[in-house]
Structure 1
């Protein structure tokens, strides 16, 4: 018989926990659920929940956003992107266009979309123009984009791809001298597509407790309880606390499309730097739909710098779980959802935006 949230909390409170236990939740959706439900305040004080690198908007390289802006401003194209990407700022002088939203205000044809289906429809409705799809996201977003291409798209649909894999960022943290967490809660949506098996390395290579969680309170608390029990008993294993949707192997059809259309590449993460084998690029079969080949003059190598966040912005350390959003000097002062300085305040999967939206204002 499954437990409700209150019963899981009671189980957790009865554990003989050490003075401090740090659990990293990778997914931005997890962080949103945790914060909206007030789970941090409901759990014992010695349990620290750390938001991790689970916001694709936050880690999208600055040079990719800049490239999208320049293509939209300088070419006769329709540029489409998922809504959050329109407000992500780049580092330019105040007199220059610093977001796709500002480029749209300057006359560029830029349209927010909710799904690849929207993109295909726009391309079919505008056969006389190239439609450039600025596709940023993790596996859960990139897999439908791959399926879109595999199923066939109009010749005028081009992809400006900025896809990332989730697990290599966690692997990078675990390989560092100070990972900053004792247990891991792995992302349910990513595991639904890619399979739980992607996360076995956490246990097998690093001997850390791990659990895959869904997005309701019961699944999250079950994952917290499991990882804490593993830690106390010194018996780490990967526990699937989201069996309704997550299997060991994942979605076979989605993965088939993903690896037919995409190839894994080294990739830059904004403010973090290059992480090996953490990005997606188009395979040779689909290069006719590569916007970077059709419009090659807008890639700026000089913008590919680790630490590429605005001055004073601590988004990178927030993404890596090194600090909480409220510890950034700009949080709530210069940086708010109305006027985001860094990408973590833009997306509803960014920890800064989530905390701000749930009454975690800066201390007076």
Structure 2
């Protein structure tokens, strides 16, 4: 541990905590850094760090995954997606493919990509084929997707957009009667795009301490200390502990790309439901590259099931910070990274997968329930 990280940890341990203080971290990257560095084991026992809804793979709705799968199987497009999306399970009979990976095994041409520019390159390499890029993610992912429209796209490339904004999910949790946290660590990467000011609503509207954090132990511990100090002193403000990267007003160029490419619309979050003005939709000016316009809609009403996870799976409660990952009945039993039942065990930003990777194998190893 660096001297700076030790400094922040020492300051935290000097604080007098008369009660349990629960801090939610929104970002899956934060949860990964916290867990893999073992920071929870170094903090005083009265501090609880709760994973939140910061995994885009986990909240991608069933209907979007199903549409992507059917486009590849029925319309015989060459489907491209970020790698984590290929293993996300959806609710279908065992006789049918239940993930993009399974559809690929059944003969669909589905390929993982690492960058939006890969989609352009593949479309140019295969001008004779229809290429669909299934693009899911939060603001940091959708900004480079939006940047594709800064240049002329190949005619055979269309996009199936499943992008979401981060803050509406946090706003929903704060407005819920079951809000389970006392302070918030706001996502650093999102703040670099949209500006740290976007998170001012947490202290201003809800009187909760908040701090923007980066992904090093030093930045995370500084943010935790700030949230604790604010709580103990009875004051709430937004502290930017990632100021070297998350600059005031964010990244104007990225914001311009987002505005030019997308409209903001009501959108479904798997495990949560429909949140107002929380999703990205391609603007009408880009309709010729919108897969939803170019191909049949395979998502019949039974597929549009808000909040539904696989039977027995508690990913919805994990996403909303109501339980810890290892408190799901399926964790480590029916659900493991090799055989994921729920989406939180698939992605490197999913809390269940992160906890498994950090060595948590049973419910006995779970911290106190956040409720």
Relative to the length of structure 2, the TM-score reads: 0.96
CA contact (8 A) 1:192 1:246 kept: yes
- Partner of residue 47, structure 2: 47
Q: Which residue of 1 aligns with 2:263?
A: 263
Match of 1:125 in 2: 125
Q: What is the 5 A alignment of 1:85-124? A: 85-124=85-124
In structure 1, the residue matched to 2:369 is: none
SS at match of 1:276: strand
Measured in 2, the distance between the counterparts of 1:90 and 1:178 equals 27
What are the residue-to-residue correspondences of 1:1-364 with 2, within 5 Å? 4-363=4-363
| Cα distance change on mapping 1:212 and 1:3 into 2, 3 Å | farther
**Separation of aligned partners in 1, 2:299 and 2:154:** 25
- Output the TM-score relative to the length of structure 1: 0.98
- Measured after TM superposition, the shift of residue 117 of structure 1 is 1.0
SS at match of 2:162: strand
Residues 126-156 of structure 1: per-residue CA shift (max 9 Å, x gap): 1111110000000000110000122221111
SS in 2 for 1:236: coil
Q: What is the CA distance between 1:218 and its match in structure 2?
A: 0.3
Aligned partner of residue 322 in structure 1, secondary structure: coil
Distance across 2 between alignment mates of 1:128 and 1:290: 18
SS class of match (1:24) = strand
* Conservation of the 8 A alpha-carbon contact between 2:269 and 2:307: no
* Structure-2 separation of matches of 1:257 and 1:238: 27
Question: What is the distance in 1 between the residues matched to 2:363 and 2:264?
Answer: 43
Helix, strand or coil for the counterpart of 1:334?
coil
CA drift of 1:59 comes to 0.1
Contact 2:214 2:220 in 1 (8 A): yes
Residue in structure 1 matched with residue 368 of structure 2 by the alignment: none
Deviation at 1:3, TM superposition (A): 6.3
Any idea what SS the aligned residue of 1:186 has? strand
Give the SS at the match of 2:254. Answer: helix
Q: Give secondary structure in 1 for the equivalent of 2:161.
A: strand
> Shift of the alpha carbon at 1:248?
2.1
Q: Give 2:367's aligned residue.
A: none
Distance 1:313 1:170 in 2: 22
Asked whether the equivalents of residues 67 and 300 of structure 1 are also in contact (C-alpha less than 8 Å), the reply is: no
Corresponding residue pairs, total: 363
Instruction: Give the secondary structure class of the aligned counterpart of 1:124.
Output: helix
Which consecutive residues of structure 1, in runs of 5 or more, have no partner in the other structure? none
Tell me the CA shift for residue 178 of structure 1.
1.9
The alpha-carbon deviation at position 122 of structure 1 amounts to 0.3
Shift of 1:330: 0.4
CA RMSD of aligned residues (A): 1.1
Partners in 2 of 1:137 and 1:309 — Cα distance?
Answer: 19
| CA displacement at 1:221 relative to structure 2 | 0.2
Do the aligned residues in 2 keep the contact of 1:3 with 1:218 (CA within 8 Å)? Answer: no
Residue 363 of structure 1: how far off its partner (Å): 4.1
- Structure 1 CA distance, aligned partners of 2:172 and 2:297? 32
| 3-state secondary structure, aligned to 2:297 | helix
